[in-house]
Structure 1
């Protein structure tokens, strides 16, 4: 028992009060091997299941999620702390994504004819086997859905390693799949500490890996996949710019930027982490941001009046405070906040930081918390340079009344996604993914279903034909 206690890190700790709720034992190597064997055995019958039958099951998953959105939402809030309204929205979004692929997978994966001089040729899209999915805690249902919806409809099977602080959400999703009629082995949740996941990549029955998480975790998993000649997709976070143009409605830009940054207590890969405004309006913009911050209520995420929740864990809160303190030590200005909230739980005050320069660590880092960083620019070229002055390239926003001018700016930003007059968003039909150190590959939209299929050429000619 002593060994188990030392190795177990899979537990529900309510970040609202930092109290332990439930703990799970990690699986043994033998259990993990058996799960992967079962997923591999389930692949052939699932691969040969018709799109119509797959879709019926996946639609049922969506229906169950909508029916139970309040209960699912409360569980997500209990485990990682987000506002209950945000948790319920996440459940509804996930249901929409499941329905999207159930409705469209057969069309997306239909044979694609090729124009050839003689005979016929086409691309056949075929599943490849068992996918290892490694997902984070900040959207415990949506992160699962992004990879599972497309891959299950494509005919792949899946083994999920979820973040260790949301084990009940992870297990609940497997239970929902089974209740909806998914055959056993097609989708399985595993309980294992993150440090042990790398070894699973070398299992020959794992055919590919998808990961959303930190840059070090992504590099480790991608390296293991490369050594084993397996494809991987990675989404590794971002430091998203939010460029405000001169011709802007300042009140609307402030509202959009602040609400976007405080979404999920700032724990969103694509929230506006660097707000970049013209020098001519900086003081007015900052004044309005401060006024907006004065309306924010930090507190119980189950309370409808709360609009800033705790962070996911005590360690996360301590990490954000350390980044803020380092910025202050390096002469950034902490305009508001910057401290722990005087109450139990993983709370950090909503914080505004200005006067950030390239000599400071925070200029390059991603802060995963309720921290609003404000920059200014003299001309639009300087704004674009600043926006691109990061190793990350996930999402971004350009905000201004002249959408054509905003489009010109958008084309010069080195990110996987640019939204005009909107924070980087999420919709089933829109691809999600980044470039540079934010990773590679896409999820959602038609693009998401092609990542882990074999695009097989089939060519037919008569025996005497010559190409």
Structure 2
């Protein structure tokens, strides 16, 4: 098998890499295993210093790294720069807060002294997606590495250069060889890496199907897992919502990163009495989106990352229309070179349609009309996913009450659902389990060891 880096805007092959054989995989796992106790034994202040150096490296190389992201997966160049900045931020956040997050927790008991010490688990395998090829990795590795773990990365097959660039960035920041390595392995080889006794835990950001496979494999070998899977986030618009505020955020949330984001708003649940106005405003903003070369600063609509992803999205849209959804705008691939899909609106979406039941990973907004708040919450929760959600109303107390009723990992009132190093991030139901970011994420891959002394 070969890993091919392809520019989605042009279809041009950029570079290919051969998948590693088992001997190469074993060599890296052995290197990481040998580095693991040395890294864990390093003083926390030294690990923090290297994390700060990683942030500096990211900023110094921002233009080159952002361009690489855009070339490999098609993200708008401005969004790619913002992704690199966010990676630097998460490094700085954990550099600042790790000493407090990792401090012993004293607990009164019948002992003279008892406390919980947080110790690293060892080597963690990170299986990461292509849609945020740097951020998804750094939001895991910043807390995991500073906590004393080592890491191996199995990145998505279409972003091999990003995976190798992350390893090189950390090396240039001063991280010892073997503390973080990128593996060029196929999905079929990944099961052997999970099973390897030199790996103590697994974190996956990816599809629901991939999550089920990883959880099954890791479960057989009793490996700790954290899974961040798909989402079909509801965006509830109450009758008293400020549409001047809500609609631009709705468009941003749905179409950022070409609509290829787990926590993008996907199901817009709108009160019937304002639905027509909401759609008209939404469509007007869509008409301003301009597809083009994502390296061009004037482009505002990026291509999808791969042709097969575009084909799958169109199949979901077509099936939803056949089942009664109304195509308001777009709903078709754009002609010409590249993997572009027209900015799209589907109205009158109902449960049972792919646009309601499945994750639409692309620039398609599903509108669900409801009669009242109770129906809005019921529709929001009538999904097997539970990653994020938002509620829009000028009555923030009422919106907060509804947000608490949403069955998801994060609920925002009058704001864009997003990840933030300061706040825990993750989902429930088929969106996965476990948390990343904040102190909650740091503890996922630590041994929370009880000490009892008398």
Specify if TM > 0.5. yes
1:341 aligned to 327, 334, 339, which one?
A: 334
1: CA distance, partners of 2:240 / 2:351 = 27
Q: Is 1:246 the equivalent of 2:236?
A: no
Q: Which residue of 1 aligns with 2:158?
A: 165
Q: Which residue of 2 aligns with 1:325?
A: 318
1:310 aligned to 269, 294, 303, which one?
A: 303
Give the number of equivalent residue pairs: 454
Aligned-pair distance for 1:331? 2.1
Moved more, 320-329 or 204-213: 320-329
2: CA distance, partners of 1:230 / 1:86 = 35
Q: Which residue of 1 aligns with 2:198?
A: 205
2:356–2:366 Cα contact (<8 Å) kept: no
Give the 4+ runs in structure 1 shifted more than 3 A: none
1:335–1:354 Cα contact (<8 Å) kept: yes
Deviations 1:167-225 (A, max 9, x none): 11110110011111111111000101223211211101100000000111111111111
Deviations 1:84-125 (A, max 9, x none): 000000000000001111111121111110012441100011
Q: Which residue of 2 aligns with 1:3?
A: none
2: CA distance, partners of 1:124 / 1:159 = 25
2:377 aligned to 384, 404, 408, which one?
A: 384
1: CA distance, partners of 2:263 / 2:151 = 26
2: CA distance, partners of 1:183 / 1:368 = 37
Q: Is 1:423 the equivalent of 2:412?
A: no
Aligned-partner SS, 1:206 = coil
Q: Which residue of 2 aligns with 1:218?
A: 211
Q: Is 1:438 the equivalent of 2:431?
A: yes
Aligned-pair distance for 1:362? 2.5
Deviations 1:235-273 (A, max 9, x none): 011000000112111122111101110000100000110
Deviations 1:406-448 (A, max 9, x none): 1000100000000111121122111110000000011111111
1:396–1:423 Cα contact (<8 Å) kept: no
2: CA distance, partners of 1:390 / 1:32 = 39
Q: Which residue of 1 aligns with 2:75?
A: 82
1:189 aligned to 161, 167, 182, which one?
A: 182
Q: Is 1:29 the equivalent of 2:22?
A: yes
Q: Which residue of 2 aligns with 1:368?
A: 361
2:73–2:159 Cα contact (<8 Å) kept: yes
2: CA distance, partners of 1:260 / 1:62 = 27
2: CA distance, partners of 1:360 / 1:256 = 25
2: CA distance, partners of 1:69 / 1:399 = 35
1: CA distance, partners of 2:353 / 2:432 = 24
2:317–2:354 Cα contact (<8 Å) kept: no
Q: Is 1:280 the equivalent of 2:291?
A: no
Q: Mapping of 1:128-167 within 5 angstroms?
A: 128-167=121-160
1:334–1:353 Cα contact (<8 Å) kept: yes
Aligned-partner SS, 2:25 = helix
1: CA distance, partners of 2:187 / 2:7 = 20
Aligned-pair distance for 1:316? 1.0
Aligned-pair distance for 1:358? 2.0
Note the residue ranges of structure 2 that are not aligned, 5 or more in a row: none
2: CA distance, partners of 1:282 / 1:37 = 59
Q: Is 1:229 the equivalent of 2:206?
A: no
1:163–1:194 Cα contact (<8 Å) kept: no
1: CA distance, partners of 2:398 / 2:321 = 36
Moved more, 149-158 or 356-365: 356-365
1:294 aligned to 287, 291, 298, which one?
A: 287
Q: Which residue of 1 aligns with 2:101?
A: 108
